[in-house]
Amino acid sequence: MTAENRRPRLHRLARIYVRSPIYFVTTCTANRRHILATEAIHESFLHFAEEGPEHGAWIGAYVLMPDHVHVFVAIDDQKISLSEWMKSLKNALSKTMRSKRIPAPHWQKTFFDHVLRGADSYTEKWHYVRENPVRAGFVRRWQDWPFQGEIFALQYRSES
């Protein structure tokens, strides 16, 4: 498809709804390999999350499943784009995987993102996402899944 034939992309709703948007992001491992739900990957993820504010990214709630990760993240797009942030996350976790001799490729090339439009949207999505380990039969209660948590308490702020 040539540049002239492409449909124009919609701009993110961030300008309308929030100053620093909160995204709900999901990314999967290559071939849906079960390589994420480990202590080493979780520690690497936590370290990455703690350094995020220096680069304009704050991770809220998250769930690491064996073959995918769900993350809520607020991005200061003056410092970093969502695509750049996702590339950094994948690179950080891949570095840990390489140190554990997990052969590449580690990730699918794409990821899914959704801009949250309100506090209810965040709460609703988190309630659904946190139940993933229960639905998959890994634990009886979501609180028992060791590879989930919240780094920063993100709050939706509407433009007023």
Task: Say how many domains are in the chain.
Answer: 1
Distance CA 54, CA 136 (A): 35
Does 109 have pLDDT greater than 90? yes
Residue 114 has a pLDDT of 92
Residue 119 has a pLDDT of 75
Residue 65 inside a domain? The answer is yes
User: What does the pLDDT look like over 81-95, one tens digit per residue?
Assistant: 999 999 999 999 999
Residue 3 inside a domain? The answer is no
Residue 37 inside a domain? The answer is yes
Burial environment of residue 108 by CB neighbours within 10 A (0 to 12, 13 to 18, 19 or more): middle
Strand order in the sheet with 22-28: 112-115, 22-28, 68-75, 57-64, 148-150
Residue 158 has a pLDDT of 60
For residue 141, CA distances in Å to 123, 126, 133, 138 come to 18, 15, 8, 9
Average pLDDT over residues 20-48: 95
Residue 64 inside a domain? The answer is yes
Give the pTM: 0.83
Residue 157 inside a domain? The answer is no
DSSP state string for 50-72: HHGGGGTEEEEEEEE-SSEEEEE
User: What does the pLDDT look like over 134-149, one tens digit per residue?
Assistant: 999 999 999 999 999 9
Residue 8 inside a domain? The answer is no
- CATH code, domain with 51: 3.30.70.1290
Range of the domain at 101: 18-150
Residue 158 inside a domain? The answer is no
Task: Give the bridge partners for 29, in sequence order.
Answer: 107
